[in-house]
């Protein structure tokens, strides 16, 4: 697929304003789509993905300088099919009003409930590493909640962005779902509109700018960021299954994932055993054939590749133990080999920033408290991973640390569960999507109170009289026994009011 990657930002901004206005108007005319309409809308996404799956693989190859075909199917297409399938079975239940407790004495048989209403027009600012999964995932959730959506793909993936625009245009009316692609000026302008909700996936640095722009219009935001996700290994779990999981997940997208393991914490006395097993696994499975290109993808740009090279070189220059498990990069490719860096000093770049690439530092600990202290000393990560059989160890580490999500004897898989909310805490993000929690996130949780018969409204509302004094003294401030007696005295008249509706 060949496209012109030169984008006119002014034209894109004009297009965004036009579509935004169109979607706002459409929402006002259709503020509460039926269950059938919502299901019909999200059901179009699997059909769209199946129709364009060959083009999706071609676009990923073009933007990443090579991308695993199997990985594309699993991570960018099938994951969305599963998410749609799950949501379709649940939306009817999620749309039902949620009954809330009232006060039988003072409010009679009033009806108190919560109903989820669509918010309106949702913005989705997509990161480059999962252009289709992150591009469409929040759309599935937002459409299920009855909203309309405008997607802004990353300018670092122009082929994927252009394909997404084509796919969406062929599938949806632009007053329901649309894609607007552009470069830096569009990215700056996009969050300044008065959206009803905005989703941003990317770096914390940019998230602060996005949130600052959104705040000027009091736009609620969902920020899906990242962080230095720890992989904590107990001495009882340094085995082949643990090694395969750590290395396998790190190979996905060549480590360019917000929920991948950013560094390992292993027992000091088993360091050599762990390093030898892990380096051998990387070398055997991802060390040849262009550094495991068939299973991963390239580094997204030359700029990102230079940053990763700098992190490795900095560690090498200060004498850290650096293990290259692959071969040199072909001059025409961006398939960087996987590196292990053993016990790097904390001031190095690899320990100060999210790595987002094929580099895995390995640190040691002496006891449980070392782990907790280390994890809590930094920003809260998006994911926390514990490999252990010892349940007391698992409970202690997960209880005394904080993260967006937790996986035990696995890495990143919690982020792909359609039924689990996905999101961070603190520096790793705010808000959530996936599943019922996403439905609530993209809905206005509207509280309803419907007055019916019974209750003590005459005593509660002005003009106040002796009945008000009685309510205050004999109920509100009284001991529980006296409150119960007060309610018993009012029971006959309250029941009569509920029967007559007065």
Together in a domain, 458 and 490 = yes
What percent of the chain is predicted at pLDDT more than 70? 97
Which residue from 432, 286, 260, 221 is spatially nearest to 354, judged by alpha carbons?
260
Non-local (6+) Cβ contacts of 416 within 8 A are: 79
Together in a domain, 128 and 144 = yes
Residue 428 lies in a domain: no
**Nearest-angstrom CA–CA distance, 213 and 191:** 6
Together in a domain, 219 and 287 = no
Does the pLDDT value for residue 6 go beyond 60?
no
Note the pLDDT of residue 379. Answer: 95
Note the pLDDT of residue 486. Answer: 79
- Reported confidence tier of residue 5, pLDDT bands at 50, 70, 90: very low
> The CATH number of the domain where 168 resides is what?
3.40.605.10
- Reported confidence tier of residue 9, pLDDT bands at 50, 70, 90: confident
Which residue from 274, 329, 324 is spatially nearest to 306, judged by alpha carbons?
329
- Reported confidence tier of residue 1, pLDDT bands at 50, 70, 90: very low
Together in a domain, 141 and 164 = yes
> The CATH number of the domain where 287 resides is what?
3.40.309.10
| Mean pLDDT (whole number) for 449-470 | 90
Domain range spanning residue 496? Answer: 453-500
Number of structural domains (the chain) is: 3
Please pick, among 58, 162, 258, 264, the residue that the annotation labels catalytic.
Answer: 258
Residue 431 lies in a domain: no
**Nearest-angstrom CA–CA distance, 61 and 59:** 5
Tell me the per-residue pLDDT of 373-385, one tens digit each, with 9 for 90 and over: 999 999 999 999 9
Together in a domain, 207 and 270 = no
Does the pLDDT value for residue 43 go beyond 50?
yes
Note the pLDDT of residue 331. Answer: 61
Contact 145, 439 (CB under 8 A): yes
Contact 411, 434 (CB under 8 A): no
Residue 33 lies in a domain: yes
User: Is there a catalytic annotation at residue 224?
Assistant: yes
Residue 275 lies in a domain: yes
Tell me the per-residue pLDDT of 232-263, one tens digit each, with 9 for 90 and over: 999 999 999 999 999 999 999 999 999 999 99
Tell me the per-residue pLDDT of 112-170, one tens digit each, with 9 for 90 and over: 999 999 999 999 999 999 999 999 999 999 999 999 999 999 999 999 999 999 999 99
Note the pLDDT of residue 7. Answer: 55
pTM of the prediction?
0.93
Please pick, among 58, 224, 354, 441, the residue that the annotation labels catalytic.
Answer: 224
Together in a domain, 411 and 441 = no
Together in a domain, 242 and 204 = no
Contact 430, 201 (CB under 8 A): no
Together in a domain, 137 and 274 = no
Together in a domain, 166 and 117 = yes
CA separation (Å) from 129 to 141, 183, 257, 353, 357? 20, 17, 7, 18, 11
User: Is there a catalytic annotation at residue 258?
Assistant: yes
Helix (H) or strand (E) segment spanning residue 460:
helix 457-460
Together in a domain, 221 and 234 = no
Together in a domain, 477 and 340 = no
Which residue from 226, 283, 215 is spatially nearest to 255, judged by alpha carbons?
226
Residue 429 lies in a domain: no
Residue-level length of the chain: 502
Contact 298, 318 (CB under 8 A): no
Together in a domain, 410 and 440 = no
């Amino acid at each position: 697929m060949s496209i012109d990657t030169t984008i006119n930002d002014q034209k894109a901004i004009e297009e965004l304003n036009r579509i935004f206005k169109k979607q706002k108007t459409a929402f006002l005319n259709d503020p509460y789509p039926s269950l059938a309409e919502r299901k019909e809308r999200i059901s179009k996404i699997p059909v769209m993905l199946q129709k364009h799956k060959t083009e999706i693989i071609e676009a990923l190859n073009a933007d990443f300088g090579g991308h695993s075909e199997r990985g594309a199917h699993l991570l960018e297409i099938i994951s969305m099919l599963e998410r749609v399938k799950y949501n379709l079975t649940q939306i009817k239940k999620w749309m039902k009003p949620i009954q809330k407790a009232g006060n039988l004495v003072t409010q009679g048989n009033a009806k108190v409930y919560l109903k989820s209403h669509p918010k309106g027009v949702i913005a989705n600012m997509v990161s480059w590493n999962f252009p289709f999964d992150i591009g469409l995932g929040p759309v599935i959730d937002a459409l299920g909640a009855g909203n309309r959506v405008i997607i802004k793909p990353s300018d670092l993936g122009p082929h994927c962005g252009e394909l997404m625009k084509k796919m969406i245009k062929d599938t949806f009316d632009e007053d329901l779902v649309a894609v607007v692609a552009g470069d830096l000026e569009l990215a700056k302008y996009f969050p300044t509109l008065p959206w009803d909700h905005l989703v941003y996936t990317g770096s914390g640095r940019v998230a602060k700018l996005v949130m600052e722009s959104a705040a000027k219009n009091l736009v609620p935001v969902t920020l899906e960021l990242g962080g230095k996700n720890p992989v904590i290994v107990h001495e009882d779990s340094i085995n082949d299954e643990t090694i395969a999981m750590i290395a396998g997940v790190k190979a996905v997208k060549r480590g360019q994932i917000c929920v991948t393991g950013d560094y390992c914490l292993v027992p000091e006395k088993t360091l050599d055993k762990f390093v030898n097993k892990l380096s051998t696994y990387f070398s055997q499975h991802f060390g040849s054939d262009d550094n495991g290109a068939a299973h991963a993808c390239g580094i997204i740009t030359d700029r990102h590749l230079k940053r990763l090279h700098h992190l490795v070189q900095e560690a090498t220059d200060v004498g850290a133990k650096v293990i290259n498990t692959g071969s040199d990069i072909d001059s025409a490719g961006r398939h960087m080999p996987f590196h292990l860096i053993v016990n790097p000093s904390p001031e190095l770049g690899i320990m100060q920033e999210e790595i987002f690439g094929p580099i895995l530092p390995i640190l040691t600990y002496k006891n449980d408290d070392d782990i907790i202290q280390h994890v809590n000393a930094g920003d809260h990560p998006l994911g926390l991973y514990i490999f252990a059989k010892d349940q007391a160890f698992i409970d202690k580490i997960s209880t005394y640390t904080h993260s967006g999500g937790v996986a035990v004897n696995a890495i990143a898989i919690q982020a792909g569960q359609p039924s689990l909310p996905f999101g961070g805490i603190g520096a790793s993000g705010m808000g959530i999507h996936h599943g019922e929690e996403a439905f609530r996130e993209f809905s206005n949780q509207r509280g309803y109170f419907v007055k019916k018969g019974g209750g003590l409204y005459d005593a509660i509302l002005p003009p106040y009289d002796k009945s008000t004094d009685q309510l205050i003294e004999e109920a509100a401030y009284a001991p529980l026994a006296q409150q119960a007696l007060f309610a018993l005295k009012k029971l006959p008249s309250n029941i009569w009011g509920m029967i007559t509706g007065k």
